Amino acid sequence: MSSVVDPVGRDGSAGPAGRDDAADPADRGPAGSTAAGSTAAGSTAVGPTAAGVAAAGEPAAPLLSARGLEVHFPIRRGLILDRTIGHVRAVDGVDLDLPRGGTYGLVGESGCGKSTLGRALLRLVEPTAGTVTMDGVDVLALKGEALRMQRRRMQMVFQDPLSSLDPRQSVESILSEPLQTHRVVSGSAARATRVRELLDTVGLPASAAGRYPHEFSGGQRQRIGIARAVALEPALIIADEPVSALDVSIQAQIVNLLEELQERLGLTYLVIAHDLAVVRHISDVIGVMYLGVVVEQTASRRLYTEPLHPYTRALMSAVPIPDPDLEDSRQRILLSGDLPSPANPPSGCRFRTRCPWVQETRCADEVPPLREVRPDHVVACHWAEQIDAGEIRPRADAIV
């Protein structure tokens, strides 16, 4: 297949088709991207880096890049010996580029590894393999003061604002704490001014400073969480389900606030969410994850109109649209069963156990590499072109 491009600059040790005959499944990533193989990122990186599909202009260098990122959690058994009997391969070989000043949306089923990936980028959990670079800095090698300085530049916004805010701290103290520990604003008067400024930035009155988290509504609490995240003027914000705990009527307020802040402060976002309509609205690029790997990545506007991976197709068709005529005429692709265990992912293509297009050949024994099927559109499916052309049809009972 001559159109196979290695879009993310892996060293190609797995070969273009990702043929995989390693005996021990624990030793390989989805596209042969081991820690060693993935450090080759750089000059050979072409095509659909996230930055390439971000703003209309020149593809700027991504703010943050990950290559071959893996997070494997040991599964332990036994009280005395505490043996490791296996690994949960929560993130299992992910390449990612976050477009500078843009938004990368990460979607996928519960348990597919989205939060773990986000936390690994911030080193809230240590990756077991791979590289993360931000502005040329090798984030995973940082220690001590350098790591602390780096952390200032990367902040997180959480799903549940109430549980991520200390109930005994006033808003004033929640917001001035990072200013103090990172010594960015000295003097309590100056800090108080900065706190008022932050509150104003997120659309809360100055009087909010003296109150406590439980005195606010869910949407207001999320504003406090966002104010805390932008307090140190970070370059990157990772927002993990920032609106899913909020009422529908409030979600739009927070989405708009995030967009406004991005524009004003030049922030780069990684937004993790399971609501595809929200992700599509807010993102420039979307990555679809399945069982620890990215199976498709392209510009947000394309994903709904031209999904190429069978999982993305199913996902898009499953999202309800508030339009009765459309709902009545839409075809839905139903997947059977649940997400397989990330401790023991299926051989070959991880999606094959639920894929309505699964083929007798290749699917079960070759790991499909992420490859550029269209310009700036990468997909990890052996049969993407044939499926797109209608040459391979889905199982009939999967369509309703």
Partner 1 sequence: MSLLEVEDLSVVFSRRGRRDVRAVDGVSFSVDAGQTLGVVGESGSGKSVTSLAIMGLLPRRGAAVGGEVTFGGRKLLGMRRDELRDLRGKELAMIFQDPLSALNPVVPIGRQVTEVLTRHRGMTGTDARREAARLLDLVGIPDPDRRLREYPHQLSGGMRQRALIAMAVACQPKLLIADEPTTALDVTIQAQILELLKELVRQEGTALVLITHDLGVVAGLCDRVNVMYSGRIVEAADRRTLFVDPRHPYTTGLLGSIPRLDSAEGAPLLPIPGSPTDTLPWSSACAFAPRCARSLEVCTTVTPDLEPDGRRALRCHNPVPAEEAAAVGAEGRRE
Binding site for partner 1 (CB under 8 A): 109-110, 217-220, 247-253, 255-256, 274, 276-278, 280-281, 301, 304, 314-328, 332, 334-339, 400
204 forms part of the interface with ligand ATP (CB under 6 A): no
Instruction: Quote the least distance from Cβ 299 to partner 1, whole Å.
Output: 10
- Cα–Cα distance between 223 and 342 in angstroms, integer? 34
CA-nearest of 64, 255, 79 to 154 is 64
Q: How far is CA 104 from CA 96, 99, 107, 330, in A?
A: 9, 7, 10, 28
Contact segment (CB under 6 A) with ligand ATP among 8-16, 17-25, 47-55, 104-112 equals 104-112
Instruction: Quote the least distance from Cβ 364 to ligand SF4, whole Å.
Output: 8
Distance of alpha carbon 322 from the chain centroid: 26
Nearer residue to ligand ATP within complex by CB, 107 or 195: 107
- Pairing mode of beta strands 285-290, 103-107: parallel
358 forms part of the interface with ligand SF4 (CB under 6 A): yes
Total number of residues binding Mg ion (CB under 5 A)? 1
Nearer residue to ligand SF4 within complex by CB, 294 or 349: 349
For residue 20, the one-letter residue type is D
352 forms part of the interface with ligand SF4 (CB under 6 A): yes
Does the CA dihedral 151-154-160-166 come out positive or negative? positive
CB 369 within 8 A of CB 14: yes
Q: Which residue has the tokens 């992420």?
A: 370
Q: Looking at residues 331 to 350 of the shown chain, list those that interact with ligand SF4 (rule: CB under 6 A).
A: 349
Contact segment (CB under 6 A) with ligand ATP among 103-111, 160-168, 230-238, 352-360 equals 103-111
Tokens of 115: 């939060």
- Cα–Cα distance between 4 and 7 in angstroms, integer? 9
CA angle 371, 366, 340 (to 5 degrees): 95
Burial of 249 by CB count in 10 Å (0-12 exposed, 13-18 middle, 19+ buried)?
Answer: exposed
Burial of 220 by CB count in 10 Å (0-12 exposed, 13-18 middle, 19+ buried)?
Answer: buried
Total number of residues binding ligand SF4 (CB under 6 A)? 14
Q: Could you say which of partner 1, Mg ion, ligand ATP, none residue 19 binds, taking C-beta under 5 to 8 angstroms by partner kind?
A: none
For residue 91, the one-letter residue type is V
Contact segment (CB under 6 A) with ligand SF4 among 63-71, 214-222, 262-270, 352-360 equals 352-360
Beta bridge partners of 239: 157, 271
73 forms part of the interface with ligand ATP (CB under 6 A): yes
Instruction: Quote the least distance from Cβ 132 to Mg ion, whole Å.
Output: 19
Instruction: Quote the least distance from Cβ 255 to partner 1, whole Å.
Output: 6
Tell me the per-residue interface mask from 132 to 151 with ligand ATP, x by CB under 6 A, - otherwise: --------------------
Does the CA dihedral 160-165-167-170 come out positive or negative? negative
Which of 33, 103, 115, 201 is the binder for Mg ion (CB under 5 A)?
115
Q: Could you say which of partner 1, ligand ATP, ligand SF4, none residue 335 binds, taking C-beta under 5 to 8 angstroms by partner kind?
A: partner 1
CA-nearest of 9, 1, 7, 31 to 19 is 31
CB atoms inside a 10 Å sphere around CB 321: 9
Nearer residue to ligand ATP within complex by CB, 55 or 85: 85
CB atoms inside a 10 Å sphere around CB 53: 25
Tell me the per-residue interface mask from 105 to 134 with ligand ATP, x by CB under 6 A, - otherwise: ---x-xxxxxxx------------------
Q: Looking at residues 253 to 312 of the shown chain, list those that interact with ligand SF4 (rule: CB under 6 A).
A: 309-310
- Residue numbers at the binding site for Mg ion (CB under 5 A): 115
In the complex, the residues that contact ligand SF4 under the rule CB under 6 A are 309-310, 349, 351-352, 355, 357-359, 363, 368, 381-383
Binding-site ranges for ligand ATP (CB under 6 A): 73, 88, 90, 108, 110-116, 274, 342
